[in-house]
Amino acid sequence: MPSKYPILKPSEIIRGLSKRGFSFVSQKGSHAKYSDGMHIVIIPMHSEIARGTLKSILEQAGMSLEEFLSNL
């Protein structure tokens, strides 16, 4: 059964989170930290973000996949 989570670039994930109120906090190496004041999300700045990593990012952000995809 294929995963419903897409493989995305970090810039696409950041764009979707920014529309929800997340903003850049800091970066250490290849991992950027974003926050909305309530949740903190770590995004690896690699060429592609794996499906499982995207699922973890959305769990950290307190967002459903459908809510995130509607922000893209």
pLDDT in tens, 25-42: 999 999 999 999 999 999
Task: Specify the residue for token string 């059964």.
Answer: 1
CATH number, domain of 59, equals 3.30.920.30
Residue 2 belongs to some domain of the structure: no
Residue 4 belongs to some domain of the structure: no
Please tell me the pTM assigned to this model: 0.89
User: In terms of residue numbers, what domain contains 36?
Assistant: 10-70
Residue 3 belongs to some domain of the structure: no
* 47-51 LR contacts (CB < 8 Å, sep 24+): 47/9, 48/7, 48/8, 48/9, 49/7, 49/8, 49/9, 49/10, 49/13, 50/7, 51/3, 51/5, 51/6, 51/7
Predicted confidence (pLDDT) at residue 1 exceeds the cutoff of 80: no
**Number of domains, the chain:** 1
